[in-house]
Amino acid sequence: MESFEYYFSQISDYLAIYLPKVLLAVLALIVGLWLIKKLVKGMDKLMEAKEIDNSLRRFLNSLAGIALKVMLLLSVVGMVGIETTSFVAVLAAAGFAIGMALQGGLANFAGGVMILIFKPFKVGDYITSNGHSGTVHSIEIFHTIIKTPDNIVIVLPNGVVSNNPVENYSSEDLRRVDFVFGIGYDDDIKKAKEIIKELILADSRVLGDPEPAIVVSELADSSVNITVKVWSKKENYWAIFFDMTENVKLTFDKEGISIPYPQTDVHLSGQLKN
């Protein structure tokens, strides 16, 4: 009987000490989870308003939710009276070890976040990065996938892409198409320029503003080079380049204007001895 009273007294003492803390911790846990849900939802709406990529939004929402829940759990455990210093130390050590093991992956992740937030390019753009050119097929968290014109798939790590120059050929609506046509030194420069001008005016895809430029740019070793610069919509770039190159060659041939090729003249001085 005395033993029962002793244990009952001990249990009563423990309940008197810890029950209010446990109830308060449970209440804090419930309220905290509700607040975390609201915060994550608000963050998602903010990122949606900023037009951040869906895959990045989901990942950041998940990451933020996990981080906030871990912090809440540590706070609740501390409210009950359990020492949390050791937990924090273990988490820090684990985080450091994981970070060192996944150093390259973390760099790619950070690069992917930067690309998806600042959007130096988007799916469908034609880009050049790290010596590779192609159309962006998809942008993932850790890598960017591009397809070359001959349908080769190239996977670029986002860490490398974000830390090196990227040429985006699709970001602007207009592009300048440059040509260099060489004619012989004996050919009529004005006539050649007039032919090129007529071909430009006949092509409705070439824009009048900015105005096309047709200038003599170089007196080369075997040719007089005429540089032509015209502007077009980006989707017409290659069609104009190929068509204009062919049309100039055909028209020059028809009008008797030569397009010389490199050649070497050898002059002999003196007489050859038998």
How many C-beta atoms lie closer than 10 Å to residue 264's C-beta?
A: 6
Write out pLDDT tens, residues 165-184.
Answer: 999 999 899 999 999 999 99
pLDDT of residue 102: 47
Classify residue 81 by burial, with Cβ atoms within 10 Å: 0-12, 13-18, 19+. Answer: exposed
CB 111 within 8 A of CB 157: yes
Residue range 245-267: mean pLDDT, rounded: 86
Mean confidence (pLDDT) of the chain: 82
- State whether the Cα torsion 131-136-137-140 is positive or negative: positive
CB 88 within 8 A of CB 74: yes
| Contact between 106 and 116 (Cβ < 8 Å) | no
Q: Sketch out the chain's domains with CATH numbers.
A: 2-101 (1.10.287.1260), 120-168 (2.30.30.60), 174-255 (3.30.70.100)
pLDDT at 97 over 80: no
Could you give the residue ranges of the DSSP H alpha helices within the chain?
Answer: 2-49, 54-80, 85-101, 103-118, 158-162, 189-202, 237-255
* Structure confidence at residue 49 (pLDDT): 78
